[in-house]
Chain A
Amino acid sequence: MSKKLKKTGLIFFPAFDWAISPNHPEREERLLYTQDQVFEEGLLDFPNIVEYKPDIATYADINRCHICVPNPQNLTTSSHLISAGGAITAAKKVLSGEVDNAFALVRPPGHHSMLVAHGARGFCNINIEAVMIEHIRHQFGIKRIAVVDTDCHHGDGTQDIYWNDPDVLCISIHQDGRTLYPGTGFTDDFGGPNALGATINIPLPPRTSDEGFLFVLDNVILPILEEFKPEIIINSAGQDNHYSDPITNMSFSAQGYALLNEKLAPDIAVLEGGYSIEKALPYVNVGIILAMAGLDFSQVREPDYDAQRIRQSPEITRLIEEEARNVMTLFKKKKNLKKQVTGSAAYIRREKNIYYDTDNIWEKQTETVRVCDQCGGVVMIDSAADTGKRIYAVILPNSCCPECRENGENFFARMNSSQYNHVYFQDRQRDVFIVK
C-alpha cells in the first residue's frame, strides 16, 4: 500500500424506481448488482470515501447549456433532474475542497444529448456533464475544463455542446463509428473554427483491450491534457467498453478501467453507459472507486476474467498506434489549421441531420458561427424537427467578446419569430436565457 490516499466523494443514485421501459437496458435493475458489490466490499466504510445525497438540478441549470424544445419541463422527469443534480453535487464537493475527487454513479446518462434537444437520443434526455459544467462555471468561475469521454459510444452530445468552445476540451475514445451507434466521432471532427483542437476524437477498432486503451491514454490523452492545462478533468465514465457488454464489441476489463482512472486522475467522474449490469458494472465500479480513492485495486477482477482470451491482436495494436500518431500530428498542427478552415469567411455554417433513436425524431439543423479570434464566436441555430417544431437560437459563448455580443444581441432583437415556434437567446457569459 504505497499509494497516496485521496478523499473521494461518491454520489450513488441507482434510481431503483425508474426505467425508460420495463425491458430497456436503462431500467431499474441497472445498478442493482453494482450496489451489492459496493456494499459487500464495504467501500462506504473507508474513512476516505464519503457518500452524498444528490442535489436536484433546476431548469435554469439546464437552460445554461441546452436549448430544450419547447422547454426543459417537457423534456425531463425527476430522474433526469436528479442524475444531473448528482453530477453537480460531485463537482460542488470537489470545488469546495470537501473531497479531492468525486464519482457521480448516477443514471440515466447524458452524453448523447446535444445543444438543441427535441427529445431523447441514445437513452439521454439532457447532458448531465454539460449541465454540471455550466453550473460550476457559473458558481465557481472555473474557466478551462477537460472532458475525457471513455464511454464506448462517441460522446456526440458533449462534443456538439462544446464544438465552438475553446475553453472546454472534449476528448472522446470510442469504438469506431463505422461499427457502432451513433456512427460519428472520426479523427477529423476537430472542433469549430474558433475552437480547433478542443474537440479530439480517437476511434478504436472493435476488440481493443486494456493494452490499447492504456496506450492511447499515455500517448494521446495525457500529452494533450498536459498542453491544454485544464483546471479540472471530468471522466465521462461509460463502462460499455467491457468485454462482456451486450451492445458493443470491445475487450476492456475492470482492471483496465481502474488503471485508466488511476492514470487519468479525474477530478470528477460521471457514469455514462454500460449495460453488462451483472458481469461488468459491479467490478468496474468497484475498480474505479478504489482507483479514485488511492486504494489497492490489484485484486479486483471479474469472475470470468481471462487475460489471454480478451487480448487484442497485433493487427489491432498496429491500427491503434497509427491512429494515435495521426491524432497527435493533427493536434500539433491545430494553430495553422484555422486559416485553411475559414478562408476569408466571416461566418461558417454546418448542416446536421440528427436522429433521436430513443424518441424516434428526425431533426434538420443549420448551425452558423461567427469567425472570431477573441472568443468562441456567437452561434446561431435554425432547427426543424419532424415533430413539426421549428426553432431559432442565438448563443453567446462563455467568454464572449464585445463584437460577438453586439452581433448576437442584434440578431436576437431583429429575429422575426413568426416562422418559428420559439426563438431562444442563451447568454452563457451573463447567465441570461430568454425565449420569445
Chain B
Amino acid sequence: MILGIDVGGTHTDAVLVHNYQLIRKAKVLTNPANIMASLLEAAQKLISGENINNIDRIVLSTTISTNAIVQEKISRVAMVLLSGPGLSPETLDLGGDVYFARGYINHRGIPVKNVNSRQMNEISDEIARKQIRDIGIVGKFSSRNPQQEMDAAELLQNNSRHISLGHTLSGQLNFPRRIATTYLNAAIHDIYQRFVKDVQQFIEKIGADIPVYILKADGGTILIGKSMECPVQTIHSGPSAGIMGVLATARMKEDAVALDIGGTTTDISVFADGVPLLEPSGVSINGRKTLIRGLYTKSIGLGGDSVVQIEKGHLKIGPQREGPAAALGGPFPTPTDAMIVQGIVDFGDRQKALDAITPLAQKLHMTVQDAAVAIIEKMAALISDHVREIMAEINNKPVYTIHELLEGKIIEPKILYVAGGPAAVAPFIAKNLGYPYSIPEHSEVSNALGVALARTTAEVTILADTEKRELIISEEGRLQSIPRSFALADAVEVGKATLREKAAGMGARPEDIIMEVTESQEFNMVRDYYTTGKNIRVKVQIKPGLISAGAERANDV
C-alpha cells in the first residue's frame, strides 16, 4: 500500500492506495504555521497499528520550497561566477552577494582560462568575513565541462559551508537560468534541511520504517534523503500534484487538456499521448527563470469567484477576485452566482445570486436567466481562447531539423478534463472547443492520488566529443575518456546505464524505470576538409507518469 499526502494551501489530503486503487481518503485543514501537524493529522486518519506494516512507501507533495522562495524566507547566499566574456553580467538577475572569478570554458567544454586559487582564497576570506554559509558556484558552459566548478568548490569548501554547483542541477545550456537555479538551491538549503528532519521525526512518530518520497516539479518522486542536495527540484510540488492527479484519475492515453478551475485562477495543463508536457527550458518562480525540469502549466486570472462587470456595454470577467460569490456573502456578482441562478450548481443563497446578477441583466437589456447564461458562456469562451492560444504556442515551438519541421508531432486534444469547484462550466467550454469533456472521479482528492501514484523521474545529458576523446555527464559531474571510435549508440548505452543507476538511487523500482531517449544527435566535426571527430549529444529521461500497475499488484500478492 502507498500513503499519498498532498499539502495544499487550504486542505491537506491523504489517500491510501492499494492495488492501484483508492481505498481510503481523508481531508484536514492545512495549518500554515505548522505543516507537520497537518501532515500528521491527515496521516493518522488513514493509518493504524493494523495497516502500518502494509505500507510500502509514503509520498508527499510539499509547499515548503515554493513558500520559502515566494515569501523570501531564504538564506543569504554568496554566488561565485566564472562567467568569461559574452553577455554583460550587469544584465543578469544574479541574486545574493556576487563574486566574479577568473576561469571560463568555451562552448565545446574547453577551458580558456583556469580558476585562480589565490583569487578564490581571497573570495573565500571575504565570504567568511560576511559569515555567509551557503554558496553557489556557476560557470558559463559548466554543463559542458564541470571541472572548473568542482575546482572552485574544492578551494571554497569547509565544514561550516554548503555549496551548490550549477552543473549538478541541470545538463541544459543557459547560464542566466543556471545562476538563478543554483542561487535558489543554495538559498533554500537550510529551510529544506529542517523540513526533512521534521518529516523524519514524523515517520518516527507513526512508528514505522517506511521510505518517504517527495514529489518534484516534474511530477516525479525522489527519496527524501536524496532530495537534500537538490531542494530546488521540489518547488512547484503542489501544481505538479494537480497534474499528476488528473493522470491518476483519468488515466488517459491520448492528447488532452486539463483545467483546474479555482476561485481566482484557472490552471491549464496539456498532455501528449497521455504524458504531461514539461516546460521547454525550465519553470519560473517568483519572476526568476530557472532550469528546473517542471510540468507545463499556465495560470490565467479567471475563476469561479472572479468579479463580473459591465464595461462599455460588454461583460468583463476577472482577473480580480474581491471575495466569495455573492450567494456566499461576497460583494460582487461572479460566475459562480451565474451557475447558481441557472441551477447548474446548488449551494449558497440563490436569492443573493439573483440580486447580484439583476443589475447586470438590466444594463444588458436581458432577463436575469439570459444574463446568467451569457456570463457562463463568456467565461467558457475566455478559457477556450486561452486553451487555443496555448495549443498554438506549443505546436509552433521552434524546431531545428527539417524532419521535425515537416513531420513533427502536432498535439490535437481529444478530450478536456476539468476539475475544481466551478467544474460545472465544463460542458460550455467543451462545446466552445469542440471536443468532449470529462470530470474525473475522486477529484476532491485527485492531487493526493497523483502524489501516491507518481513514478520516479530523472534525466541525464551525455556529451561525447571524440576529437577531445572525452565524455561528460553534467548532472553527475562525470568526465571520462572515450576511444576515437565511440559512437552514438555507445552514448545512448552510457546514458541508459547512468540513468538506470541514478533512478534506482532516487528510489525507483526496476519495473518503473521506463526510459526514453529524447535527444540523440551526432555531428561530423570537420576541420580543413578532414573529419576530426564526432560531436555526440544524447538525453535520456524517465518521463513523468504513474508507477506500473502490474508491478504494484505483483508486490502486494
Contacts and interface: CB of A to CB of B under 8 A. Distances in A.
Does A pair with B? yes
Contacts of B174: 39-40, 42, 45
Contacts of A22: 524, 526, 531
Interface in B377-406: 396-403, 405-406
A416 interface: no
A299 B87 CA distance: 6
A14 B89 CA distance: 27
Interface string A1-19: 1000000000011111110
Given A28-B523, A40-B107, A295-B91, 19 more contacts: A14-B400, A16-B523, A17-B402, A22-B524, A28-B524, A29-B526, A39-B172, A39-B174, A40-B140, A40-B141, A45-B177, A52-B396, A53-B398, A53-B399, A54-B405, A296-B88, A299-B85, A300-B86, A303-B112
A42 B175 contact: yes
Interface of A: 1, 12-18, 22-23, 25, 27-29, 32-33, 35-37, 39-43, 45, 51-54, 56, 78-79, 82, 246, 278, 282, 286, 290, 295-301, 303
Size bracket, chain B contacts? 35 or more
Nearest to B141: A40
Contact of B91 (A1, A82, A282): A1
Given A45-B176, A299-B88, A29 B400 contact: no
B107 A53 contact: no
Contacts of B373: none
Interface of B: 84-91, 106-108, 112, 140-141, 144, 172-177, 281, 289, 396-403, 405-406, 521, 523-526, 528-531, 535
21 contacts: A13-B405, A15-B400, A23-B524, A23-B531, A36-B141, A36-B144, A36-B173, A39-B173, A40-B174, A41-B176, A42-B175, A45-B177, A53-B397, A53-B399, A78-B402, A78-B406, A82-B402, A82-B405, A295-B91, A299-B89, A303-B84
Contacts of A51: 398
Nearest to B529: A23
**Most chain B beta carbons < 10 A, residue from A15, A286, A299:** A299
A12 B398 contact: yes
Contacts of A37: 86, 107
B523 A32 contact: yes
| 8 cross-chain pairs, A with B, having the tightest CB-CB distances, nearest first | A42-B176, A39-B173, A36-B107, A296-B88, A40-B173, A17-B401, A303-B112, A29-B523
A23 B530 contact: yes
Nearest to A54: B405
B107 A282 contact: yes
B525 A29 contact: yes
Given A13-B400, A16-B400, A29-B525, A40 B175 contact: yes
A239 to B, nearest CB: 16
Contacts of B526: 22-23, 25, 27, 29
A15 B402 contact: yes
A184 to B, nearest CB: 25
Contacts of A27: 524, 526
A109 B85 CA distance: 29
A40 B60 CA distance: 34
Contacts of B289: 45
Nearest to A287: B86
A282 B91 CA distance: 19
A15 B86 contact: no
Given A14-B400, A16-B401, A41 B175 contact: yes
Contacts of B525: 29
Contacts of B535: 29, 32
**Most chain B beta carbons < 10 A, residue from A1, A53, A286:** A53
Given A36-B107, A41-B175, A42-B87, A29 B524 contact: yes
